[in-house]
Amino acid sequence: MGRVIYEEQSGTQIPPSMVIHESDDAWHPLKDRLYIEWWYFDLVADDGCLIRGQFFIAGDVSRPSRVITGVRASYVKADGTETRIERRFPFSSFKASTEVCDVRIGQNFIKGDLSHYEVHIEDGESVLDLQLDSRIKGITSHACFGDESRYMYWVVPQPRCQAKGTFTTKGKTYTIEGTGYRDHNWLNIAPMDILLCWDWGTVYDREFTITFADIVTTKRMEEAEIKPILVWNSEKLIYLTTARAKWSLVKTDIRPDPITGIGIPHRNHLSIQDEGLSLDVDLELRNVFQRIDLLADFNPVIRFLIRTFKAKPTITSFFSTGSGQLSYFGQQKILDCRAVHELVKNR
């Protein structure tokens, strides 16, 4: 068995090891068949619409014919109606900086400097344009698996941002304005062998933002948990912990998704109990969207064999609403919550 190398720490400020730099949000090309990297964004619009998207690349960059790259975006109306953009491109269409975030895939791009980003994604009949602005400093973190040569990075340039833009589809243009989030990940591990499942999400209140991840590894990695949770107010980080014992995510009312069959929790309870800070948030599911089959780009025969004998890896996205209470250093706050979160299952 291997082991997970991941520091447990708690505090009210960003530690030096988690300070973010512009290069953290740049491209990290690897000559490794297990390499995957993606740049992610989501937002909840003032009119109740949702947007979620990714730019991604996977495969050994020294073997261009085996590299997969593309873009994905969902525009979900308040009634749950979803319009998706999903495109793949050859590696020759991918251009990116290794110093700053400037990623271009065909005519699509994401670029920025930690505080301001521009996003453009298009297909034949739909176009998404966004401006993402924030003042809050983000973080960078990573975990290693077995040894330091195998890792997964999680970088959050914008824990909370103000989003403006437009989405045009079938000749009609929708104005977008709301609250969003941006992150960036890369890894060189085999997720189906190392990671059993994870819950990840961002909870938006009028003032506070809570971002969490609860990652469970396979028996190969001793079924370890990687559990960061971070709380920001309107100006800065006010709390973080990666200590498993200090917070919990409890999922209940689990029902099978009618489309994928995956068990979906319709209620989530998020809580932190630590010296100086406590949090309780109750979330109720409103929408399920952007269901992603992680084997979609595999060779059909290999895909069939994996699904039959090993796993059916999926990403399922959720929008939930709810309420909560936050107590920190003598202050008591009532939270009005909207959350964009996901469940990734590799088994």
Specify the pLDDT at position 1. Answer: 62
Amino acid at 289: F
Between CA 272 and CA 94 the distance in angstroms is 41
Q: Is the pTM of this model over 0.75?
A: yes
The alpha carbon dihedral of 138, 199, 3, 11 has a sign of positive
Between CA 340 and CA 178 the distance in angstroms is 13
Give the list of residues 6+ apart from residue 22 with CB closer than 8 angstroms, or none.
99, 100, 101, 113, 114
Numbers of helices and strands, H then E, in the chain: 2, 24
Specify the pLDDT at position 163. Answer: 98
Specify the pLDDT at position 313. Answer: 72
Q: Are 39 and 69 in contact (CB under 8 A)?
A: no
Specify the pLDDT at position 307. Answer: 47
Structural domains of the chain ordered from first start: 4-345 (2.40.370.10)
pLDDT tens-place values along the chain, 347 residues long? 689 999 899 999 999 999 999 999 999 999 999 999 999 999 999 999 999 999 999 999 999 999 999 999 999 999 999 999 999 999 999 999 999 999 999 999 999 999 999 999 999 889 999 999 999 999 999 999 999 999 999 999 999 999 999 999 989 999 999 999 999 999 999 888 898 999 999 999 999 999 999 999 999 999 999 999 999 999 999 999 999 999 999 999 999 999 888 899 999 999 999 988 999 999 999 999 998 775 555 555 444 444 444 556 788 999 999 999 999 988 999 999 999 999 988 76
Give me the half-sphere count of Cα atoms (radius 13 Å) on the Cβ side of residue 137: 14
Between CA 272 and CA 210 the distance in angstroms is 11
Q: Both tokens of residue 77?
A: 């109306």
Specify the pLDDT at position 260. Answer: 85
- Residue 14, phi then psi, degrees to nearest 5: -70, 120
